[in-house]
Amino acid sequence: MHHGYLALVLHAHLPYVRHGDRDDCLEERWIYEAMLESYLPILLVCEKLLEDRIDFRLTVAVSPTLLSMLEDELVQSRFRIHLRKTVELAGREVRRSVEHPKEHRLAKMYLERFREIVTYCTKHQYSLIPALKKLQDSGCVEVITCAATHAFLPYVETEEAIRAQLLTGIETHTRILGKRPTGIWLPECGYTLGLDRLLKEAGIRYFFVDSHTIQHATPHPRRGLYAPLLTPYDVAAFARDEVASRQVWSSYDGYPGDFDYREYYRDIGFDREMTYIEPYIHPAGIRVHTGLKYHRITGKNVEKDWYDPQLAREKAEAHAQHFLEHRERQVRETAVWMDREPLVVATYDAELFGHWWYEGPQFLDHLLRKTAMASDEVRLITPAAYLERYPENDRARLPMSSWGRNGYGEVWLNERNDWLYRHLHQAEREMVEAVIQVHRQQDHGEKAEFGVRCLRQAARELMLAQSSDWSFIMDGQTVVEYAVRRVHDHLTRFFELIEMVRSDQYEPVKIQSMEMAYPLFPDVRERYYLPASMHKVNVSQQMVAVSQAHGTQPRILMLSWEFPPYVVGGLGRAVYDLAIHLVRLGVEVHVLTGSADRVAGSEWLEGIHVHRVNTFSTAEQEDFLQWVFQLNLAIVDTVEQMRREGFYPDLIHAHDWLVGWAAVEMKHRWNLPLISTIHALEHGRHQGIHSPLQQRIHDCERELCKVSDRIFVCSQYMMEEVKRLFGMAEEKMCLIYNGVESPPDLSEEMSRHMEEVRRELGLGQGPMLFFVGRLVKEKGVHLLLHAVSRLRHEHPDLTLVIAGKGPMREELQDLAHRYGIASEVRFLGFVEDERRNVLFRLADVAVFPSLYEPFGIVALEAMSFGTPLLAADTGGLREIVRHQENGVTMYAGDVDSLVNQLRWLLNHPEDRIFMSKVAQSEVQSRYAWTHLAQKTVEQYRMLLPAVRPDEEVDLVSSKVP
Partner 1 sequence: MLEKILQLKSQSMTISQIAEECGLTIGQVKYRLQKGKSKSEQESHQPNHQLPQKAEPDDNQGWRLASYYGRDIIKAMAQGPTVLFVYWEITWPRMRMVASYLQSDYRQIQKGIRIYDVTDRLFDGHNAHWHRDFQIQEEANGWYVNDLQPDRTYIVDFGLFDQNRFCPILRSESVVTPRNTRAVWGEPLIEPVTQTSVPSWFENFSSYSLYTKSTP
Member of 65, 76, 149, 192 binding partner 1 (CB under 8 A): 192
Q: Between 425 and 774, whose beta carbon lies closer to partner 1?
A: 425
Decide: is 702 part of the binding site for partner 1 (CB under 8 A): no
CB atoms within 10 A of CB 284: 7
CA distances from 703 to 384, 555, 657, 694 (A): 68, 25, 9, 14
Q: Between 97 and 602, whose beta carbon lies closer to partner 1?
A: 602
**From its phi and psi, is residue 234 left (phi > 0), alpha (psi between -120 and 50) or beta?**
left
Taking the C-alpha atoms of residue 209 and residue 470, their distance in angstroms, rounded to an integer, is 22
Asked whether 49 and 140 are in contact (CB, 8 A), the reply is: yes
Taking the C-alpha atoms of residue 56 and residue 40, their distance in angstroms, rounded to an integer, is 18
Decide: is 504 part of the binding site for partner 1 (CB under 8 A): no
- Which segment (129-137, 181-189, 520-528, 604-612) binds partner 1 by CB under 8 A? 604-612
Decide: is 466 part of the binding site for partner 1 (CB under 8 A): no
Q: One-letter amino acid identity for 560?
A: S
The minimum distance between CB 422 and partner 1, in angstroms, equals 5
CB atoms within 10 A of CB 946: 4
The minimum distance between CB 500 and partner 1, in angstroms, equals 14
What mask, x for binding partner 1 by CB under 8 A, covers residues 427 to 456? --x--xx--x--------------------
Decide: is 400 part of the binding site for partner 1 (CB under 8 A): yes
Torsion sign over Cα 360, 361, 362, 366:
positive
Member of 49, 148, 474, 520 binding partner 1 (CB under 8 A): 474
Decide: is 706 part of the binding site for partner 1 (CB under 8 A): no
CB atoms within 10 A of CB 598: 14
Q: What SS3 class is residue 496?
A: helix
Active site residue 349: yes
Asked whether 704 and 654 are in contact (CB, 8 A), the reply is: yes
Q: Between 410 and 814, whose beta carbon lies closer to partner 1?
A: 410
What mask, x for binding partner 1 by CB under 8 A, covers residues 656 to 695? -----x--xx--xx-x------------------------
Cis omega (within 30 of 0) for bond into 342: no
- Which segment (240-248, 446-454, 529-537, 879-887) binds partner 1 by CB under 8 A? 529-537
Backbone angles phi, psi at 397, to 5 degrees: -95, 140
Decide: is 414 part of the binding site for partner 1 (CB under 8 A): yes
The minimum distance between CB 387 and partner 1, in angstroms, equals 15
The minimum distance between CB 701 and partner 1, in angstroms, equals 14
Taking the C-alpha atoms of residue 455 and residue 264, their distance in angstroms, rounded to an integer, is 44
> Which DSSP string do the residues of 4-30 spell out, in sequence order?
EEEEEEEEE-------TT-S--GGGHH
Q: Between 85 and 425, whose beta carbon lies closer to partner 1?
A: 425
CB atoms within 10 A of CB 766: 13
Q: Between 623 and 756, whose beta carbon lies closer to partner 1?
A: 623
Q: Interaction with partner 1 in 150-179: which residues (CB under 8 A)? A: 154-160, 162
Residue 389 labeled ligand binder: no
Taking the C-alpha atoms of residue 373 and residue 57, their distance in angstroms, rounded to an integer, is 12
Decide: is 542 part of the binding site for partner 1 (CB under 8 A): yes
Taking the C-alpha atoms of residue 525 and residue 455, their distance in angstroms, rounded to an integer, is 9
Decide: is 186 part of the binding site for partner 1 (CB under 8 A): no
Decide: is 546 part of the binding site for partner 1 (CB under 8 A): yes
Member of 602, 716, 813, 900 binding partner 1 (CB under 8 A): 602
Cis omega (within 30 of 0) for bond into 565: yes
Decide: is 603 part of the binding site for partner 1 (CB under 8 A): yes
Catalytic position from the list 47, 349, 489, 622: 349
Decide: is 809 part of the binding site for partner 1 (CB under 8 A): no
Catalytic position from the list 33, 160, 188, 873: 188
Decide: is 242 part of the binding site for partner 1 (CB under 8 A): no
CA distances from 888 to 482, 789, 870, 905, 915 (A): 86, 20, 5, 8, 9
Active site residue 51: no
Q: Between 189 and 919, whose beta carbon lies closer to partner 1?
A: 189
CB atoms within 10 A of CB 279: 11
Asked whether 702 and 662 are in contact (CB, 8 A), the reply is: no
Q: Between 484 and 517, whose beta carbon lies closer to partner 1?
A: 484
Looking at the chain, how many residues does it have? 961
Member of 125, 250, 505, 617 binding partner 1 (CB under 8 A): 617
Member of 479, 484, 735, 944 binding partner 1 (CB under 8 A): 484
Member of 38, 63, 247, 417 binding partner 1 (CB under 8 A): 417
Decide: is 548 part of the binding site for partner 1 (CB under 8 A): no
The minimum distance between CB 732 and partner 1, in angstroms, equals 21
Residues of 107-138 as b/e, b for ≥16 C-beta within 10 angstroms? bebbbebbeebbebbeeeebbbbebbeebbee
Decide: is 415 part of the binding site for partner 1 (CB under 8 A): yes
Taking the C-alpha atoms of residue 231 and residue 228, their distance in angstroms, rounded to an integer, is 10
Decide: is 311 part of the binding site for partner 1 (CB under 8 A): no
Decide: is 604 part of the binding site for partner 1 (CB under 8 A): yes
Residue 403 labeled ligand binder: yes
What mask, x for binding partner 1 by CB under 8 A, covers residues 195 to 214? --xx-xx----------x--
Residue 357 labeled ligand binder: no
CA torsion 70-74-80-86 (nearest 10°) is -90
Closest alpha carbon to 799 in 848, 743, 845: 845
Taking the C-alpha atoms of residue 446 and residue 504, their distance in angstroms, rounded to an integer, is 11
The minimum distance between CB 604 and partner 1, in angstroms, equals 4
CA torsion 349-357-384-66 (nearest 10°) is 50
Q: Interaction with partner 1 in 622-661: which residues (CB under 8 A)? A: 622-623, 626, 629-630, 632-633, 636-638, 640-642, 645, 647, 661
Taking the C-alpha atoms of residue 612 and residue 551, their distance in angstroms, rounded to an integer, is 25
Decide: is 532 part of the binding site for partner 1 (CB under 8 A): yes
Decide: is 222 part of the binding site for partner 1 (CB under 8 A): no
Q: Between 254 and 399, whose beta carbon lies closer to partner 1?
A: 399
Asked whether 7 and 381 are in contact (CB, 8 A), the reply is: yes
Residue 257 labeled ligand binder: yes
- Which segment (139-147, 445-453, 541-549, 875-883) binds partner 1 by CB under 8 A? 541-549
**What is the Cα gyration radius of the chain?**
40
Give me the active site residues, please: 188, 349
Binding residues for substrate: 240, 257, 403, 469
Binding residues: 240, 257, 403, 469
